[in-house]
Amino acid sequence: MIPLEQIEAAAEMIRQGRLVAFPTETVYGLGANALNAAAVARIYEAKGRPAQSPLIVHVASVEMAREVAAAWPQAAGTLAGRYWPGPLTLVLPKRPAVPDIVTAGLGTVGIRVPAHPVALELIRLAGVPIAAPSANRFSGLSPTTAEHVRESLGDAVDLILDGGATDVGIESTVLSLAGPRPVLMRPGMVSRREIEELVGPIEIAAAAGDGPHAAPGMHRKHYSPRTRLLLVEGGAVPERGTGAYAGMGGEPAGPVARLVRMPRDPAGYAAALYETLHRLDREGLDWIAVERPPEGPEWAAILDRLERAAG
């Protein structure tokens, strides 16, 4: 899809300390050479991201992960064996070669191997690990297309590799293996249950507030459209203003300007979620009412993102 020469040029830019936005299977990332502190500083600047939010380091193999991590516990081997490449980030003690700016001064680093051919080729050709948060302005909706990246970051990024729409659609699961027991820092489409089947019971990070504790970077107001988003039940919609209703089955109980039918399966729903919110956000509506998804572990990550978007 993307010519190899273009990925080669992008890899050269990464080596030169510039910023390249690239597709992963989850969302688009805003990448820089993870071993170059000045390059990584440009990521924070482009995003308007606070310095206390650590970045995820993307690698092309377990071997490369072990050059970044100072320890490789058995659970890391088990989980990487099953889910890499894929939407699972493992937090591990970091090696000194990883600059403090990447990890917001923490002694640990989040690492994953993305399951996208363009991302993998980019990392291999660059020959260095790539630090990349989602390629959007801080606290906005994550981008699932190159167009979303352009709208959010514009000239702040040196190059955007356009790999089409991402297929998982929401950010990776983040699991810390840096302490005595595994801790889920951010839910994702690799579910708690799937992880526990492989490595036993895990803990859930204390509901991330705005403090510097528990899950760094998991600010309450995150992943938000500009339009007011409401999480509703039984089709309840505001009486005032013009809005949209996004539901899986139920009808809105009042008039709406837009009716969006969301997929009924979690994978399909996640893949459509940000694209739908980006689209509705452009329409100048007063509100977006989203039907609360069902309870259950396979919906946990989607509910988490919706609750954050609703603030």
Report which DSSP code applies to 77: H
Smallest gap from residue 238 Cβ to Mg ion (A): 28
Residue 33 token pair = 């050479």
Phi, psi of 84 (to 5 degrees): -105, 140
Q: Which does 99 bind (CB under 5 to 8 A by kind): Mg ion, ligand TXA, none?
A: none
Query: How far is the C-alpha of 16 from the C-alpha of 33, rounded, in Å?
Result: 8
- Whether 14 contacts 33, CB under 8 Å: yes
Among 10, 39, 69, 89, indicate the residue that binds ligand TXA (CB under 6 A): 89
Strands 243-247 and 108-112 come out as unpaired
Q: Quick one: 192 or 222, whose CB is closer to Mg ion?
A: 222
By CB under 5 A, is residue 191 in contact with Mg ion? no
By CB under 5 A, is residue 134 in contact with Mg ion? yes
Q: Which stretch binds ligand TXA (CB under 6 A): 6-14, 52-60, 244-252, 296-304?
A: 52-60
Question: Which has the closest alpha carbon to 201: 187, 181, 215?
Answer: 181
Q: Quick one: 49 or 94, whose CB is closer to Mg ion?
A: 49
By CB under 6 A, is residue 109 in contact with ligand TXA? yes
Smallest gap from residue 142 Cβ to ligand TXA (A): 6
Strands 56-58 and 130-131 come out as antiparallel
- Three-class SS state of 290: strand
Question: Which has the closest alpha carbon to 139: 152, 151, 158?
Answer: 152
Smallest gap from residue 106 Cβ to Mg ion (A): 17
Smallest gap from residue 36 Cβ to ligand TXA (A): 17
Q: Which does 217 bind (CB under 5 to 8 A by kind): ligand TXA, Mg ion, none?
A: ligand TXA
Query: How far is the C-alpha of 29 from the C-alpha of 135, rounded, in Å?
Result: 5
By CB under 6 A, is residue 101 in contact with ligand TXA? no
Strands 243-247 and 258-261 come out as parallel
By CB under 6 A, is residue 133 in contact with ligand TXA? yes
Smallest gap from residue 93 Cβ to ligand TXA (A): 9
By CB under 6 A, is residue 218 in contact with ligand TXA? yes
- Whether 216 contacts 206, CB under 8 Å: no
- Three-class SS state of 123: helix
Q: Which stretch binds ligand TXA (CB under 6 A): 60-68, 84-92, 121-129, 292-300?
A: 84-92
Smallest gap from residue 133 Cβ to Mg ion (A): 5
Smallest gap from residue 86 Cβ to ligand TXA (A): 10
The full DSSP string for 14-43 is: HHTT--EEE--SSS-EEEEETT-HHHHHHH
**Between 236 and 275, how does the x/- string for binding to ligand TXA read (CB under 6 A)?**
----------------------------------------
Q: Quick one: 178 or 237, whose CB is closer to ligand TXA?
A: 178
Helix (H) or strand (E) segment spanning residue 291 = strand 287-291
Query: How far is the C-alpha of 278 from the C-alpha of 151, rounded, in Å?
Result: 10
Query: How far is the C-alpha of 227 from the C-alpha of 8, rounded, in Å?
Result: 39
Site for Mg ion in 79-98 (CB under 5 A): none
Contact footprint for ligand TXA (CB under 6 A): 24, 26-27, 29, 53-56, 87, 89, 91, 103, 106, 108-110, 114, 132-134, 171-172, 174, 176, 185-186, 215-218
